[in-house]
Structure 1
Amino acid sequence: MTDLTADPVSEAVSVSMIQMLNQAWEIRRSEPRETVRLARLALTLDLPTPEESRARLCLGYGLLRLGEFAAAQTELTQALDTFTDAGDLLQKRTTSNTLGMVQCELGQPVAALQTFLQVRQLSVALGLIQGEIEALNNVGSVYVSMGNHPGALESYLRSLRLSQQHELRDVESEILNNLSVEYYELTRYDDALEAAQASLDVAPDTESFITHTSALALHNAARACFKLDHLDRALDLNQQALAIFEKLEDQAAVAEVHDELGRLSQHQRRFEEAEHFFRLGLQMRQQIGDLHGQAESMRHLGGLQLLLGQTQEALDTIHAARATAGHSQAQTERCAADLALADAYRQAGQFREGFLHLEQHLLLKEELFNAASDQRVQSLQIQFELERAEQQRAAAEQLSAELQQLNSELERTHQELTVAHARTSALLEQVEQQANQDALTGLANRRAFDSAVERLQPGVQMTVVIGDIDHFKQVNDQYSHLIGDEVLRQIAGVLGAGVRLRQGDLLARFGGEEFVILMVGTDAVTTERICERLRLATERHNWGAVRPGLRVTISLGAAVSRNGEDLTAVLQAADHALYEAKANGRNRVVLRP
């Protein structure tokens, strides 16, 4: 059916807009400035609410990468509110995760911890084990920013175990990278290098992941090598990381590597090369609007200028670093800039100014320490909730394991019962068969014969034939009971082959050398023909194969029911006919007249 109200132009715009947002999200790490441009372009359009929220999510992430944290927080908060109202848990989880990173950059670690706790809870609700592990990994990064190194190590190692348990190699590689950073902060440089190398070893063999995560691991390994005085290796690793980041056009990462190369060159007293790298890093950070990074690059450049005796240039550069840090609310970087200024003024002989900046450094450091202390206290409750969640997870996993074990045991028990039931059924069937079967000949016995008669419909016409082996006692006496038993088995085979049994018919051994045939709906003529065929077949059977000189015949008496006679009457009539056959010379058939 055609929708006459559909607007092809609107549909085309909608498809184009969705494609644009998809592209903005895909390039958010490598090209954050382009992500911001595309997201802002999308927001100029008349977007439906879900797409508008997606655009704000893309914009917030791009602003995060560009260091515009306050603006990023505004966009992400709006997007989060909309996704929450819409009940879109998946987008709420993604937005919350990005918001948590922004809060961490803004120096709001307690808020970041609360956000990542919500991310973890959402991941559990959505059944996203990878999302849950990533949230725990992010909690570790927040603890690093707070100086809570035991908490960071615990979070990283816990998330690392989970990623290994669920064979999530990409997540495991990212966690090992973060663990390398944490070891670096703890000055455990050998451990930092080992964790970075482990990250390289477990990284998935996919091009996108190798380039991004492996480049981070190379850079982390290079930093550890620098501290371990493995300078040539540090240079090589940084150059490998730089090549990958440049290929990805990840300017923030490229700037960070340039800054690291500048510090490495300065350490090796290659001052001109060091200045070149510092200025390259600063230029890139200015291009992408990373204020925090700019302050760091300018402080490093100022330190180099001070080392080269360029005191005034150093003071100007470090003052600019301090101002930039203030604009970006990077209090830690501002604190470091004040300390650098105190040292620069001291070298310039301007002790009063140096003392003032040293005092500002100490005041800010105390302020940061007190804030960190308050944050650590506030984070205790969140840490308690995280530990409680982990205990609940452990308890749930243990319960799940116990239930699986119980299910396995129940399944095994069920299988055993099924086997036992099958064996019991087979045994019962075997017992029933044995109860209704003559053990020697394999024919039905007297019990089976009686059961067959009971199943007959009342008034049905029945024929009973009784056969008795002639002179069977002489066979036993002359040839042995073993030969007699074989004669009985052979007779059973001859009779079975001579009678075409139909539904309701039965051939049975009555006992001794006597056999009985029950037939339904058979008239006298047919009965006599069948009996004669059986007699003749017995007489002509190759008895010499059983014992040379052996000859066996059979006498048969038969009776067809008349006027609803019962079995007893028909059996008696057949027995009388058999007696007559025996009396008249045996090896003959007599049918009741």
Structure 2
Amino acid sequence: MGECSKALSSYERSLEIQKIALPPNHPDLASSYNNIAMVYSHMGECSKALSSLERSLEIFKIALPPNHSSLAISYNNIGMVYDKMGEYLKALSSYERSLEIRKIALPPNHPSLAASYNNIASVYYNMGEYSKALSSYERSLEILKIALPPNHPLLATSYNNIASVYSHMGEYSKALSSYERSLEILKIALPPNHPLLSTSYNNIAMVYSHMGEYSKALSSYERSLEIGKIALPPNHPSLATSYNNIAMVYSKMGEYSKALSSLERSLEIRKIALPQNHPDLATSYNNIASVYFHMGEYSKALSSYERSLEIGKIALPQNHPDLATSYNNIASVYFHMGEYSKALSSYERSLEIRKIALPPNHPSLTTSYNNIAMVYSKMGEYSRALSSYERSLEIGKIAFPPNHSSLATFYNNIAMLYSQMGEYSKALSSLERSLEILRKSVPSTHPHL
């Protein structure tokens, strides 16, 4: 952060000089505001970044022709900050304005057009609109294939992004194929210990983890960490991410002490590398809490989840989706402690935020309704539980592909409720639907089968 402060100081000094030396709407002033904004964005101070970017845009609008490429860059950068803030509709609007200008200002297969499609796809991805994300990512890839040499690193990035969408759609074999194509390109294009190779192995590991192939996941995560240790400084945030991901696999394997050890190493690095209220610190406390939760140490889990929420409230806008996740996790601890009224209150707070922050059929809403249903079920309020489970399933049918494993979970939960209500034929029907989906969506060796 010291380097950011130095950069900010230099950019601000430069701006002061330019204000004296140049006319009030000179393009160089706009560039200075843009540079200051980029530093604020890197520091996580999004509101300050946005203010400087908007000043930059105002000047460019006066100083330049209406379809100048610098205006496209301004709209693009504003979109990036809104994206970071979780204000996805505003981000989408800015990215689309940037794309409109680039279509006029640039040749049809210019790499900047690919960047615009990529950024639009990224917002759709964050909104959970995966088919739209996939379409824009594929358009970006088409342009890059024409504009760039066959093993250019940006092609690897495109395949990586497409893979990420497939992964969230539950199409893990397609995700793995695209991640492996990305890795192939990077191995040709980059030195053997480049940080992007570390990222590739990390992403492949994530897919294996989703597929329940934990030993393969662990192997790829460890390869990612090996490269990171060579390529990066000893307290680089990416190393913290690697330790975090290794921990998540250990947790899934039930090796909680190893998971906790890796998470604590991750947190140590983040405390050194990041500001004290950075969102990644909230993530660390969240994940440590998750391990304590799985170990049945609920008071420790609650303490860490609450620390995560405290940081999130400072670092993020008040209706950011990550705050909803924090409330959801706190509720989960209360649920397992048998404090159902507290659990319900936190789950409902989580749902309120998600309704504001996310599209109406976002997958996270299915989680919220599912969790609220579980509390009602424990409280013996079966009709309310059934209503919430069915709402979860309705959204899930829109949000997920027809054989996504989450749908199997929802049918299973409805079945369990019918069983508690003594409606065994309905329970059996839902269980059979659940099993039918699982057989199509996960490998035959998957633990859920």
Which residue pairs with 1:199 in the alignment? 224
Give the helix-richer structure, 1 or 2: 2
Which residue pairs with 1:154 in the alignment? 177
Shift in alpha-carbon separation, 1:165–1:137, aligned structure 2, 3 A: same
Whole-angstrom CA distance in 2 between matches of 1:57 and 1:201 = 35
Give the conservation status (yes or no) of the 8 Å contact 1:306–1:344. yes
Answering whether residue 281 of structure 2 is matched by residue 258 of structure 1, we say: no
Shift in alpha-carbon separation, 1:284–1:99, aligned structure 2, 3 A: farther
Shift in alpha-carbon separation, 1:218–1:170, aligned structure 2, 3 A: same
Give the conservation status (yes or no) of the 8 Å contact 2:209–2:217. yes
Answering whether residue 262 of structure 2 is matched by residue 248 of structure 1, we say: no
Paired letter, 1:45: I
Answering whether residue 132 of structure 2 is matched by residue 132 of structure 1, we say: no
CA displacement 1:118-172 (0-9 Å, x = unmatched): 3223333442601111101111001011111110000011111121122352322
Comparing 361-370 and 263-272, the one that deviates more: 361-370
Instruction: Give the alignment of 1:74-85 within 5 angstroms.
Output: 74-85=93-104
Shift in alpha-carbon separation, 1:153–1:370, aligned structure 2, 3 A: closer
Shift in alpha-carbon separation, 1:202–1:74, aligned structure 2, 3 A: same
Give the conservation status (yes or no) of the 8 Å contact 1:134–1:171. no
Answering whether residue 213 of structure 2 is matched by residue 213 of structure 1, we say: no
Greater RCO (CA < 8 Å, at least 6 residues apart): 2
- Superposed displacement of residue 179, structure 1: 1.4
Give the conservation status (yes or no) of the 8 Å contact 2:137–2:158. yes
Shift in alpha-carbon separation, 1:372–1:212, aligned structure 2, 3 A: farther
Give the conservation status (yes or no) of the 8 Å contact 1:173–1:213. no
Whole-angstrom CA distance in 2 between matches of 1:54 and 1:204 = 34
Which residue pairs with 1:361 in the alignment? 392
- Superposed displacement of residue 8, structure 1: 4.1
Answering whether residue 86 of structure 2 is matched by residue 60 of structure 1, we say: no
Shift in alpha-carbon separation, 1:29–1:196, aligned structure 2, 3 A: farther
Answering whether residue 299 of structure 2 is matched by residue 272 of structure 1, we say: yes
Which residue pairs with 1:413 in the alignment? none
Which residue pairs with 2:425 in the alignment? none
Instruction: Give the alignment of 1:3-42 within 5 angstroms.
Output: 8-10=21-23, 14-25=27-38, 28=41, 30-31=43-44, 33=46, 34-42=48-56
CA displacement 1:396-429 (0-9 Å, x = unmatched): xxxxxxxxxxxxxxxxxxxxxxxxxxxxxxxxxx
Which residue pairs with 1:141 in the alignment? 164
Paired letter, 2:69: P
Shift in alpha-carbon separation, 1:314–1:84, aligned structure 2, 3 A: same
Whole-angstrom CA distance in 1 between matches of 2:72 and 2:403 = 33
Give the conservation status (yes or no) of the 8 Å contact 2:205–2:221. yes
Question: Which one of the candidate residues 307, 326, 336 is aligned to 2:367?
Answer: 336
Shift in alpha-carbon separation, 1:228–1:96, aligned structure 2, 3 A: same
CA displacement 1:259-286 (0-9 Å, x = unmatched): 2111112222332321222123233334
User: Partner of 1:45: helix, strand, or coil?
Assistant: helix
Whole-angstrom CA distance in 2 between matches of 1:347 and 1:135 = 45
Which residue pairs with 1:291 in the alignment? 320
Which residue pairs with 2:195 in the alignment? 170
Shift in alpha-carbon separation, 1:30–1:191, aligned structure 2, 3 A: farther
Which residue pairs with 2:17 in the alignment? none
Whole-angstrom CA distance in 1 between matches of 2:265 and 2:71 = 39
Shift in alpha-carbon separation, 1:150–1:209, aligned structure 2, 3 A: farther
Paired letter, 2:50: V
Comparing 288-297 and 97-106, the one that deviates more: 288-297
Give the conservation status (yes or no) of the 8 Å contact 2:201–2:224. yes
Shift in alpha-carbon separation, 1:97–1:366, aligned structure 2, 3 A: closer
Give the conservation status (yes or no) of the 8 Å contact 2:27–2:60. no
Paired letter, 1:99: I
Which residue pairs with 1:321 in the alignment? 350
Shift in alpha-carbon separation, 1:93–1:30, aligned structure 2, 3 A: farther
Which residue pairs with 2:378 in the alignment? 347
CA displacement 1:539-592 (0-9 Å, x = unmatched): xxxxxxxxxxxxxxxxxxxxxxxxxxxxxxxxxxxxxxxxxxxxxxxxxxxxxx
- Superposed displacement of residue 226, structure 1: 1.2
Whole-angstrom CA distance in 1 between matches of 2:377 and 2:398 = 24
Whole-angstrom CA distance in 2 between matches of 1:148 and 1:353 = 33
Shift in alpha-carbon separation, 1:98–1:175, aligned structure 2, 3 A: same
Paired letter, 2:303: H
Whole-angstrom CA distance in 2 between matches of 1:96 and 1:305 = 43
Paired letter, 2:91: A
User: Partner of 1:203: helix, strand, or coil?
Assistant: helix
Whole-angstrom CA distance in 2 between matches of 1:116 and 1:312 = 44
Instruction: Give the alignment of 1:219-234 within 5 angstroms.
Output: 219-234=244-259
Give the conservation status (yes or no) of the 8 Å contact 1:258–1:278. yes
Unmatched runs of 5 consecutive residues or more in structure 1: 1-6, 374-593
Give the strand-richer structure, 1 or 2: 1
CA displacement 1:94-140 (0-9 Å, x = unmatched): 33322221111122222222222232233334426011111011110
CA displacement 1:50-94 (0-9 Å, x = unmatched): 333222212211222222211111111111211221107343333
Which residue pairs with 2:329 in the alignment? 300
- Superposed displacement of residue 210, structure 1: 7.0
Taking only aligned residues, the RMSD between alpha carbons, in angstroms, comes to 2.7
Shift in alpha-carbon separation, 1:355–1:110, aligned structure 2, 3 A: closer
Whole-angstrom CA distance in 2 between matches of 1:244 and 1:12 = 43
Shift in alpha-carbon separation, 1:94–1:232, aligned structure 2, 3 A: same
Unmatched runs of 5 consecutive residues or more in structure 2: 1-19, 405-449
User: Partner of 1:10: helix, strand, or coil?
Assistant: coil
Q: Which has the larger radius of gyration?
A: 1
- Superposed displacement of residue 361, structure 1: 2.0
- Superposed displacement of residue 202, structure 1: 2.1
Question: Which one of the candidate residues 131, 134, 139 is aligned to 1:118?
Answer: 139
Give the conservation status (yes or no) of the 8 Å contact 2:34–2:52. yes
Give the conservation status (yes or no) of the 8 Å contact 1:231–1:264. yes
User: Partner of 1:94: helix, strand, or coil?
Assistant: helix
Shift in alpha-carbon separation, 1:13–1:282, aligned structure 2, 3 A: farther
Q: Percent identity?
A: 17
Whole-angstrom CA distance in 1 between matches of 2:92 and 2:135 = 15
TM-score normalised to structure 1 length: 0.57
Give the conservation status (yes or no) of the 8 Å contact 1:255–1:281. yes
CA displacement 1:301-338 (0-9 Å, x = unmatched): 11111222222111111111122222222621111111
Give the conservation status (yes or no) of the 8 Å contact 2:305–2:326. yes
Whole-angstrom CA distance in 2 between matches of 1:204 and 1:50 = 39
Answering whether residue 118 of structure 2 is matched by residue 97 of structure 1, we say: yes
How many residues align? The count is: 367
Comparing 124-133 and 23-32, the one that deviates more: 23-32
Whole-angstrom CA distance in 1 between matches of 2:267 and 2:84 = 18
Question: Which one of the candidate residues 32, 44, 51 is aligned to 2:70?
Answer: 51
Shift in alpha-carbon separation, 1:25–1:118, aligned structure 2, 3 A: farther
Comparing 78-87 and 354-363, the one that deviates more: 354-363
- Superposed displacement of residue 367, structure 1: 3.1
